[in-house]
Structure 1
């Protein structure tokens, strides 16, 4: 019976969260000023007046390289936490992490062959 009450509380909390987000969004749209002035429409560059166009397109490789960095950076968190409890995991934990690292290595090899790691 207590598990059902826990689900009820979780459902109420989830519904309250949705209602709160919707109410705050509607209120912000109703109360916020919508007058577009020249200053509001101007491109903001850290308080400096932009020189030239602010719409510069960077090569797609920079974005993909950054995504690879973030992906491998987050994976390091998993590997470090695994290393902290390595003795408790036995051989199963070692095999799981080995599989994880192999998948990461295959992803890196794929990105390397596609030329993502080249800057120019």
Structure 2
């Protein structure tokens, strides 16, 4: 068996499991449509507006900005763990990373990306 055999088996099993997890619930579910089930649930209060409307683009922009800056902030931990081994080179690289992050943050702030209107 080649060294990639176990990897191929693992990928095949993962693909089959993902496919099964996506298809089986739809096939096994009971289909009893009910007007009350199709209605929007807002904490027991009657819906005040149409829920099939579109979300504003602003919502997605704020969500993407959160993900971008959150992932970048999460990269500080591995750097902090290896800081003593990286020495001055690691410090310079992280300083460059922080500068690029600050430029992006300032750009988004100046454009009003953090204001929820």
TM range, normalised to the smaller chain? 0.7 to 0.9
Unpaired stretches in structure 2, ≥5 consecutive residues: none
| 1:85 counterpart = 2:72 | no
Assess, with a 3 A threshold, how the Cα gap between structure 1 residues 119 and 45 changes in structure 2: closer, same or farther.
Answer: closer
Shift of 1:15: 0.7
Of 42, 46, 49, which aligns to 2:45?
49
Unpaired stretches in structure 1, ≥5 consecutive residues: none
- RMSD value, Cα: 2.6
Aligned pair count?
Answer: 116
CA contact (8 A) 2:40 2:47 kept: no
Question: If the length of structure 1 is used for normalisation, what is the TM-score?
Answer: 0.74
Question: If the length of structure 2 is used for normalisation, what is the TM-score?
Answer: 0.75
Of 22, 26, 30, which aligns to 1:25?
22
Distance 1:106 1:78 in 2: 17
Runs of 4 or more above 6 Å deviation = none
Distance 1:117 1:26 in 2: 39
Counterpart residue number, 1:116 = 113
